[in-house]
Amino acid sequence: MTPFLKQTGSTLFSLALTFLGLLIVTFIIARVVPVDPVTALLGERATAAQIAEMRARLGLDDPIWRQFGIYLWDVAHFDLGTSIRSREPVLSEVARYFPATLELSTLATIFGVLFGVPAGVLGATRPGSIFDQFTRLFGLIGYSMPVFWLGLIGLLVFYGQLGWVGGPGRLDSAYQMAFEFNVTPVTNMILIDTALAGEWEMFANAISHIILPAGILAWLSMAYISRMTRSFMMNELGQEYMTTARVKGMSEARVIWVHGLRNTMVPLITVIALSYAYLLEGAVLTETIFAWPGLGRYITDALLIGDMPAVLGGTIVVGCVYIGLNMVSDILYRLADPRAR
């Protein structure tokens, strides 16, 4: 077995353990929650016999380890329970909400990388310059900003005052009906679906709606990415191979953007994956402000009415995505850096 496979194997093993831990925690939360699932399902006026029957059906009379075993079995079969609010399987609901979150955070990460990496590299090559100080301050402000407040201010200025962007939601209400009739949901990501259906006017409207929330999340991600890129690049600039490259007569641009950036890319992969994972969760508040039908809003809405299966199912899915992104970054890291293999 090659060392690469062996290490990947041990990564997978520790991920499986982490996933088990995730399930244990959600199970404990589900069991100590003050909302009684039987009352939630049957209402306040159920008879004692009905309650006893429901308890037996839900397996609440079994010993706790058995309940946990059943829980594991269900999750292994992609059964995350039934939402109390809609009486639909949680997993299929989550599958419907998740693409909206994915679309938003992917767009934000793309912007974050496009602006953050060059800003970090330029800052590292001219430390202390006006540009460097401006980027640092811009990043620091992004770090310190309550994202829900930024969203409100953004709506107030760019939608309310200037009218440059669309308001809350994914489309104008005028397009909403046309969307349901004319566009077949393939991916449930509105930009891709409208483009596939050739509805360019609708596509443009969707862009005007996504640009503000995505831009706000991109600011957060850019703050983190540019800061890390800068410090990684500073490290590389002091290395001897940089001097060697210059002595060979290589142009300064090539030294920095090809040799330096290539070596910076290795730790940067982890940073980008982390900020992507963070955006998936950071979207909770942004989605609430922008009435964006994503996973974060699904979880918070469920929470406010005490729909625990939906909350925990959503939490498990977000946790899985989080764990999955960590694993991908771990593997990419080793593929990109021959020393780590």
Contact between 291 and another protein by CB under 8 A: the answer reads: no
Closest approach, Cβ 127 to another protein, in A, equals 8
d(CA 209, CA 206): 5
Token match 């299966």: residue?
Answer: 309
d(CA 96, CA 74): 20
d(CA 179, CA 42): 37
Give the phi and the psi of residue 82 in degrees, each rounded to 5.
Answer: -115, 135
Contact between 231 and another protein by CB under 8 A: the answer reads: yes
Q: What is the largest CA-CA distance in the chain?
A: 87
CB of 197 or CB of 323, closer to another protein: 323
CB of 218 or CB of 285, closer to another protein: 285
CB-based contacts of 120, cutoff 8 Å, min separation 6: 135, 225, 226, 227, 228, 229, 230, 232, 233
Give the phi and the psi of residue 164 in degrees, each rounded to 5.
Answer: -80, -30
Do the beta carbons of residue 283 and residue 296 sit within 8 Å? yes
d(CA 137, CA 131): 10
Contact between 230 and another protein by CB under 8 A: the answer reads: yes
CB of 202 or CB of 295, closer to another protein: 295
CB of 99 or CB of 120, closer to another protein: 120
Contact stretch for another protein (CB under 8 A) within 42-50, 84-92, 192-200, 302-310: 302-310
Contact stretch for another protein (CB under 8 A) within 44-52, 70-78, 139-147, 205-213: 139-147
Contact stretch for another protein (CB under 8 A) within 98-106, 228-236, 247-255, 331-339: 228-236
Contact between 323 and another protein by CB under 8 A: the answer reads: yes
Contact between 328 and another protein by CB under 8 A: the answer reads: no
Q: Work out which of 27, 148, 158, 333 binds another protein, going by CB under 8 A.
A: 148
Binding-residue pattern over the window 152 to 181 for another protein, x denoting contact by CB under 8 A: xx-xx---x---------------------
For every residue of 126-187, DSSP letters joined together read STTSHHHHHHHHHHHHHHHS-HHHHHHHHIIIIIIIS--S--SSSS-HHHHHHHHHH---SS
Helix, strand, coil percentages, rounded to 5, for the chain: 80, 0, 20
Closest approach, Cβ 255 to another protein, in A, equals 21
CB of 263 or CB of 315, closer to another protein: 315
Q: Work out which of 18, 50, 67, 188 binds another protein, going by CB under 8 A.
A: 18
CB of 11 or CB of 50, closer to another protein: 11
CB-based contacts of 21, cutoff 8 Å, min separation 6: none
Q: Work out which of 169, 215, 267, 306 binds another protein, going by CB under 8 A.
A: 306
> What angle do the packed helices 261-289 and 90-125 form, to 10 degrees?
130
Instruction: For the segment 22-81, give every residue that binds another protein (CB under 8 A).
Output: 22, 25-26, 29, 32-34
CB-based contacts of 307, cutoff 8 Å, min separation 6: 40, 83, 84, 85
The binding site for another protein (CB under 8 A) comprises: 14, 17-18, 21-22, 25-26, 29, 32-34, 140-141, 143-149, 152-153, 155-156, 160, 230-231, 234, 277-278, 280-282, 284-285, 288, 296, 299-300, 303-304, 306, 308, 311-312, 314-315, 318-319, 322-323, 326
